[in-house]
Amino acid sequence: MVLTQFINNEQVLFDMQHFVDISIPITDTNPVNAFHLPPATFEPFKMGTFVGSVEQGGPVRCEILTIAPHGNGTHTECIGHILGRGYSVLNCMSDILCLAQLVTVPLQDEGDCYACVTAQALNLAWKEKTTDALIIRTLPNAKSKRTRNWSGDTPPFITPEAMQLIVERGVKHLVVDFPSVDPEEDAGALTAHKIFWGIPDNPRENATITELVYIPDEVPDEFYAIAFNVGGIHADAVPSRPVLFIPMYSR
């Protein structure tokens, strides 16, 4: 199966049978973690003599999952993260599949931040600005990002100036490989989130942020088709499995 898109007036084909999974799954084995949130739990359902565990002698596996999407793995969040229960990812995510651009940005020191995405670094890496989705891979890009405990470890974030650049260039869906576009501790300011979603003056209800992905080094900076594969849960943030479909040409 082939998907056709136009990039800079050039027709590009994407092979829908070959993709790169950039999600970090929610797991109870070496899990990634952020914001001191409790790890996900997978407990067998029990009632009377029934136990939902084959390992414990039950006829089937039937588990009760407890998760905190914002800190347990790759997740996609919507404006409801800031504005409350009136919004959910299922209502706000109108693009199941769209064109994305992957850029690699070295983390910079700025002010009190020793590792953040600055407007200057982003502008240098981001030469073509024609897609609805922007994926930011930060350097260094250690594989340990897939299992890292970011809590209390000063994770990177996006400066307000860099986020303003992202909005000005029309990005509708932002994807990053760290826990949050804002600092772990900012006294609830959430400045980058509010800039991205246009709060309070111009709310962008159909814009989303996907956090805690991992893009391997061997995946080149390029245009891709991205499918977000968000979970069917009415919440401000839900587990997701973004995958990149590879263009059938070499740039």
DSSP string of 93-122, one letter each residue? ---SEEEEEEEEEE-EEETTEEEEE-HHHH
Residue 95 has pLDDT above 90, yes or no: no
Residue 250 has pLDDT above 60, yes or no: no
Write out pLDDT tens, residues 193-211: 999 999 999 999 999 999 9
The reported pLDDT for the residue numbered 249 is 65
Write out pLDDT tens, residues 167-200: 999 999 999 999 999 999 999 999 999 999 999 9
Residue 46 has pLDDT above 90, yes or no: yes
Query: What CATH number should be reported for the domain whose range is 2-33+69-247?
Result: 3.50.30.50
The reported pLDDT for the residue numbered 172 is 97
Q: Would you kindly state where each structural domain of the chain is located, as residue ranges? A: 2-33+69-247
The reported pLDDT for the residue numbered 110 is 67
The reported pLDDT for the residue numbered 109 is 79
Residue 111 has pLDDT above 70, yes or no: no
Secondary structure (3-state) at 51: strand
The reply to whether omega before 200 is within 30° of 0 (cis) is yes
Q: What percent of the chain has pLDDT over 70?
A: 94
Q: What percent of the chain has pLDDT over 90?
A: 81
Short-list 26, 75, 34, CA closest to 211: 75
Residue 7 to residues 1, 108, 226, Cα–Cα distance (Å): 19, 30, 14
The reported pLDDT for the residue numbered 116 is 94
Phi, psi of 89 (to 5 degrees): -60, -40
Write out pLDDT tens, residues 51-94: 999 999 999 999 999 999 999 999 999 999 999 989 999 999 98
The CB-side HSE value for 235 (13 A sphere, CA atoms) comes to 15
pTM confidence score: 0.93
Phi, psi of 179 (to 5 degrees): -70, -30
Write out pLDDT tens, residues 12-26: 888 888 899 999 999
- pLDDT-derived band at 113 (thresholds 50, 70, 90) equals low
Assess contact for 18 and 49: CB atoms under 8 A: no
Residue 161 has pLDDT above 70, yes or no: yes
